[in-house]
Structure formats: C-alpha cells, structure tokens
Amino acid sequence: MRRYRVDRRLPPAVRQLYVDTLRARRRDRRDRASASTRPVVGSSGGGVGRLGDRRVATAGPLDRSVHALALDTAVQVVDALTAAGLEPFVVDRDADRIVVGVRLRHREAAIAALATALGEPGWLVRWSDRDRTGLVPLGEAPRTRAVGRSRSWCVFRAFGVGERAIGDDAGVIVNFWTPGTSGQLELVGFRGQDRFDERSPTTVETIDGIDLPGRAAFPVARSLERFAGDVDIVYTWVDGADPAWQDAFRRVAAECGRDLGDESLDPARYRSRDELRYSMRSVWMYCGWVRHIYVVTAGQRPEWLADHPGVTVVDHREILPADGLPTFNSHAIEASLHHIDGLAEHVVYFNDDMFVTRPLRPEAFFHPNGLPNLFQSGARVPGVEDDHTQAVDTAAIRGRELLAERFGRVVESKPYHSPYPLRRSIMAEVESEFPDMVAATRRSRFRSPSDLSTAASFSQQYAFATGRAVLADVRTEYVHVESGRLGWHLDRIRLTDDLQTCCINETRDGATGSVRREQLLADFFRDMYPVAAPWERASDLDDA
C-alpha cells in the first residue's frame, strides 16, 4: 500500500501477475465449461482427459517422456506413410515434434493410410488451414472434409496426465509440398524460402538415435542450428527432517559459533515438501533428452528413489574435501560439483525447488555451438554490504569483485533463480584461476560473507567475460512460499503455457496461513506432475 500511495499504481510486476492470472483463470473456466458440454473426441480406450476446451479419448496414463513419445509417434507415422508408398521425408524439428513432408498429390492417400494404420483409441489429428483449426479422431479424418483441404496436420496420440491430456506437444506435423512457379517443390500455403529442388537426394536422418527418411535439402539431424552434445542434470538436496542431520547441524553450528537464529540457518531453507521428487518428475516428463541425473546429498537418499540406471546419488564425501565436512553450505557444495565422477561437459544445475513447466529442448540452456546461456534477472547486485546483507548477496558481491579485478568490468545483475547451464571445464578453470577463494568456499561449512557462488552465478559470468557464454532469456516464475500472492503465482504457472521453468522458494519460517499455504502447494504439485517417474518406488503419494 505504501508503494501504491507513492506511485499511484501497483508495481508493474504485481499488476502483470494479476492481469495474466485473471485471464488464465477466465480461459480455464471457459474451457472447462465448454469441455463439459461437448462430446468426447474419439472412442475411449484408456480413459478421457481434457485437452483445452475438449475432452479426448486417451490411450491411458502417460508412460514415457514427451521426448520419447515424440520419437515413437514419428516412427509410427513415417512407417504408415512409407508402407503406403508415399515417400515421406523429415523437414524440420519443432521443439520435440518432428515435421514430415508429403507431396500434395498424396494428401488424400496420406490421411487414409494414417487412419488405417493408427486408428486406435487416443490417436487424433489437429488440422490447420489459415486461421481455422479443428480436432478429430484419426480414424474419422478421411471422412472429414476440412482435413482433406487443410494446409497441415498435427498427428498425435493422447495420454492422460491427471485430469489433463497430453500428446499434441509430441505429435508429428505433416505439411505438403507441390511444384510452384519457381520450378521447385514449395510448401503449400507459403511463398518464400520454403522450397527445394525435387532432385534433392534422399537421406537417412538419425534423430536422437532414430532413423527417419529425409532429403539432402533438409539436414535436420546434423544442423549447426541445434545442440548435439550430451547434457547431464545435477541436483543438490538434503533431507532436513532427518534427525541425524539435524543433530549434526546443531552440533557443527555450535562448534563454528553460529547463531541458529541467523537467517542463513533458517530451517525453512531445508524443509522438504517432496520438491525434489516433483522436480525430477518435471525433468523426466519435459526433458527426456537428458543423459543422466546426479543427486548430490549428505549421505542420504530419498526413500522414494529406487535404483535406476539414469540416476546416481553422490555423497558429499565423494566431491568435497574431508576437512570441510560435514557441510551445510550450498555454496561449498556448488563449488565442488565439477568433481562428480563421470559428469558430462554440459551440465544443467537444479536446486530441488526448480521445475520445468513445458517441453524444452537443450537449446533452452545451451547455444547450438555449445556455449551456455546466461540468464540475467535484472535484480541488481548490491552496491554496499553490512551485517544484515544476505549470504546470497555477499556471494554475488564477491564474484563481482573478482570480475572487476580480473577483467576491469562488472555484472550489473544477478542471474535468475532458474536452472543454471554450466560447462564442467569452465568450473574447473574457475577453481584453477581462483584457488584460494574456491578452496575457502569449499571448506566453509555454513554460508559466509567470504563465499563465492560458483555454480549459481560466478562460473556463468566468468564464462561470459571470457567469450564462452551468451546472454539469453528464460521465461520463468520465481515464487516466494511466504508470499500473500502465492495462489496467484501458482495459478499463473499452472494455467498459462508461456513459462519454461519456475522456482518455488522458501527463505524464512513463517506460520501465518501455513495450513492454506501447504494445501495450495500440495494441490499444485499433484496437478502439475501427477505421473511417477520410472525411478520412483510406489507410495501413498501416487494415490493422493
């Protein structure tokens, strides 16, 4: 209210939150009402889910990542077209979706072949023609006039994710090509550079290990415009409810002369709502291209985490110096992540309170030439510090001082609290170039004003200063659990589709409204990520 009286308006960020969320809530209510009164699209096989303003028959609950579903869909669609002698060819990749071209004269035969081969429950086609679009069961598509006249199709199989349906993000886009005035094959509905010589040789495009027919004019698999390396994900996590961990925490704090009332030691920083479980679900669901996941812990293991070839639990003892253990300092742990045995060169570092909210490709984190993306937030690095300056800010100031000393330039802003793209070799170089600062940080058992925030800021900024990172944008939402607008933030994440990541962070322990707050968070996590990842043990959570 003080801000309102001075500015005579709400802060722009708050106003935009209200505007976006109100629009999303209205659209959701409208879509739900429409879906409840219209017939289900398709014949039910494995269930029914809501896809926008329609209910659709699904093939059952989602049992694979969107990435894996997209590849499987591409194989089935291409096989059906090839078996009919229609010579499909890969044209492009749109996020996880594969784009396939077919000659225009084969359009009628193509939809008939797809309907015959893939007419099972859950298979749908969304047709598009100029600004018109529609959704029909694939088995009925040959009898639907609009499908036979449309400029493109998205062919997909719907699966259930809670009450929702998913699948169009993993569909195959089919477009059509015909000879144009240029004498070349041109994309129907467009005029411009979407053309190629009909004599272009056939190729085999190997996309994420899957062989698909292509044409030399469309080198999709080997394109310089796509990132092609391995990417690992690293989490840092502790079970703050573990009595042994709590005893060690209090004991080491007393030995180090730390006041348990210090904000950096607030229990809220270690409270668990199973965020790690839901975060890893989000990665499995929306980043299926990830090679491996590492979970760095204090000799602990989530009780729901089973042995799985895609996940490795790393003990602090494997990467931190013995004289720095036990540690309760995230800065110390982050400064040691590049010591993980077997870690890939390209890494995305997640805190356990960070989530992916939609299907992403590696290019969301790394430039196609391998340079990490640097996501600067606009939140300024403090220009002064005192006894009340938070450790996250003092770490940013330490990094700024090192950059100024080495390069004569400084960063203005802190990075977004969003997953951090990193290069393992650059983190190792930072340790080599600034050995005293990194060594002191790795041995600092609690957050300290002398810490350097390596993984969450300095390594990225150092990479940028040395020409090995690029500025980029990430569409993310940062949410304070203690915020009075918590429900608004959660609805904006849940009901809009423009965000890529979000962070739901708790920095201090507050009891006000805790029952309602915990219910909001529990409902949000169950709604967003209801499908168990393959590394989870069965538990009561899945029946909640």
pLDDT, tens digit, for every residue of 75-93? 999 999 999 999 999 999 9
Residue 540 confidence (pLDDT): 56
- Residue in the block written with tokens 């598509």: 141
Residue 278 confidence (pLDDT): 97
Return the percent helix, strand and coil in the chain, to nearest 5: 40, 25, 40
What one-character DSSP code corresponds to residue 536?
B
Q: How far apart are the first and last CA of the chain?
A: 39
Q: Are 124 and 45 in contact (CB under 8 A)?
A: no
**Looking at the predicted structure, is the pLDDT value of residue 543 above 70?**
no
- Residue in the block written with tokens 């036990």: 326
**Looking at the predicted structure, is the pLDDT value of residue 509 above 60?**
no
Confidence of residue 6 (pLDDT cuts 50, 70, 90): low
Characterize 381-413 residue by residue with b for buried, 16 or more Cβ atoms within 10 angstroms of its Cβ, and e for exposed.
beeeeeeeeebbbbbbbbbbebbeeeeeeebee
**C-beta contacts of 11-20 below 8 A and 24+ residues apart:** 14/485, 17/485, 17/488, 17/489, 17/492, 18/488, 20/492, 20/496
Amino acid at 119: G
Confidence of residue 145 (pLDDT cuts 50, 70, 90): very high
Confidence of residue 13 (pLDDT cuts 50, 70, 90): confident
**Looking at the predicted structure, is the pLDDT value of residue 116 above 80?**
yes
**Looking at the predicted structure, is the pLDDT value of residue 494 above 70?**
yes
Residue 270 confidence (pLDDT): 59
Predicted confidence (pLDDT) per residue in 229-247, tens digit? 999 999 999 998 889 998 9
* CA 498 centroid distance within chain: 12
Calculate helix-pair angle for 514-528, 275-286, nearest 10 degrees. Answer: 20
Kindly report whether the peptide bond that precedes residue 326 is cis, defined as omega within 30 degrees of 0: yes
Residue 190 confidence (pLDDT): 77
Rounded-to-integer distance, Cα 164 and Cα 157, Å: 13
| Mean pLDDT, the chain, whole residue set | 91
What one-character DSSP code corresponds to residue 227?
-
Rounded-to-integer distance, Cα 525 and Cα 272, Å: 13
Residue 184 CB-density burial (10 A; 0-12 exposed, 13-18 middle, 19+ buried): middle
Kindly report the backbone phi and psi dihedral angles of residue 537, in degrees, each rounded to the nearest multiple of 5, phi listed first. Answer: -75, 150
Characterize 1-10 residue by residue with b for buried, 16 or more Cβ atoms within 10 angstroms of its Cβ, and e for exposed.
eeeeeeeeee
**Looking at the predicted structure, is the pLDDT value of residue 411 above 90?**
no
Per-residue tokens: 125: 């086609």
Question: Between the CA of residue 431 and those of 68, 175, 266, 336, 460, what are the distances in Å?
Answer: 37, 51, 29, 9, 13
**Looking at the predicted structure, is the pLDDT value of residue 464 above 70?**
yes
Give me the helices (H) in 496-528, please: 514-528
Right CATH number for 231-543 from 1.10.10.10, 3.90.550.10, 3.40.50.11540, 3.30.1360.30? Answer: 3.90.550.10
Percent of the chain predicted with pLDDT > 90:
78
The stretch 373-395 carries a mean pLDDT of 87
Per-residue tokens: 313: 């639990």
What one-character DSSP code corresponds to residue 458?
I
The stretch 311-319 carries a mean pLDDT of 98
**Looking at the predicted structure, is the pLDDT value of residue 142 above 80?**
yes
Which range (329-343, 381-395, 408-422) has the least confidence? 381-395
- SS3 per-residue string spanning 301-322: CCCCECCECCEEEEEHHHHCCH
